[in-house]
Amino acid sequence: MEIIKAHEMGFCFGVRRAVEMMEEAAEKLGGITSLGSTVHNRQVVERLREAGVDVVTSLEEIDGRPVAVTAHGVGPQVSSALEEIGVTVVDTTCPIVTRSQQWARHLAREGFAVIVFGDPDHKEVRGVLGWAEGKGIAVPDEELLHTLPEDLPSRVAVLSQTTHTEARFASFVRRLFETRMDHISELRVINTLCNATTSQQAAAQELARRVDLMIVIGGHDSANTRHLAEVCEEEGVETHHIESASEIEPGWVAGHERVGVTAGASTPDFAVDEVVERLRELERQLSASGRSK
Ligand code: SF4
């Protein structure tokens, strides 16, 4: 069985930068708290905790220690609340997310309704909506475009959650225009997709075409990992989304000649190595029992 790793996968520069900034701050300041998990990966969160980065889930839990804003960013309301509390803030917002936030504010001030193609409960999207100064609406799926209010301003701007695929964003925009053409006088589309994500998705897609099984590693809550798995499934290949090597079931690999491995932007290298090792171990077991091809 051949195991092939995607040529681009794992920690993106935004997550790597956030993790390093938090580790440095924890060491320098004698421990910090992170407002929410830095990454959707329990192993990374545990390693950070050992390095002095505790996680709090709400502003009420802040205990005076410096607070890190995660790579997903926050809305201006949260920044103001942190200022009022008076804690030191370590802002690790990914620069690509900051760009989305700036666009949201700029377009809202220009009088556009700001539609964000994304999950309204996702941290990044909540933050971006905060910057849209009350003029932002998140729509998670093109099938839900009919839920947009009838009295939407006629000048409409569209941004995307950074981790969506190019194809889904393009389809969303097309559908928006088709369904609201009679209402829209001006449509501005800002490509706020993240290059790191799109190139990982392209690499996963290319690999999915060459293998007969894909393993996608990343937190079950991680949007970009879910999208990577979707990209692979769309190629018609058997795909399993796992968080760690322990979730691999022995039956998955039997009868497969080529297994592809990719990982979401919040997946550390050691988690990928563990998965590859587990696949090799299963292959050895299958060979020993004579069930391997
Ligand atoms: S996926 Fe892209 S936008 Fe998100 S943290 Fe990584 S580099 Fe930044």
Average pLDDT rounded to a whole number, residues 99-120: 98
Q: Is 24 in the active site?
A: no
Q: Measured in angstroms, how far is the CA atom of residue 12 from the centroid of ligand 1? A: 6
Give the whole-angstrom CA distance, residue 148 versus residue 176.
10
- Nearest residue (by CA) to ligand 1, atom 2, is 194
Q: Is the dihedral of CA 113, 191, 74, 176 positive or negative?
A: positive
Catalytic residue among 23, 27, 50, 124: 124
Question: Quick one: pLDDT band at residue 293, thresholds 50, 70, 90?
Answer: very low
**237: Cβ–Cβ under 8 A, 6 or more apart, which residues?**
208, 209, 211, 212, 213, 214, 260
Report which ligand 1 atom has the smallest distance to the Cα of 12: 6
**From the CB of 15, is ligand 1 less than 6 Å away?**
yes
| 71, 15 Cβ separation under 8 angstroms | yes
Instruction: Please tell me the distance between residue 85's alpha carbon and the centre of ligand 1 in angstroms.
Output: 28
Q: Is the pLDDT of residue 114 over 90?
A: yes
Question: Could you tell me the distance, in angstroms and rounded to a whole number, from the CA of residue 13 to the centre of ligand 1?
Answer: 7
Residue 291 pLDDT class (50, 70, 90 cuts): low
**What pLDDT shows up at residue 195?**
86
Q: Dihedral of the CA atoms 187, 177, 152, 144 (nearest 10)?
A: -130
Q: What is the pTM of this model?
A: 0.83
**Ligand 1 mean position, distance from CA 94 (Å):** 6
Q: What is the mean pLDDT of the chain?
A: 94
Which pLDDT belongs to residue 145? Answer: 95
Pocket of ligand 1, candidates 19, 38, 163, 226: which has the most ligand atoms within 8 Å of its Cβ, to mutate? 163
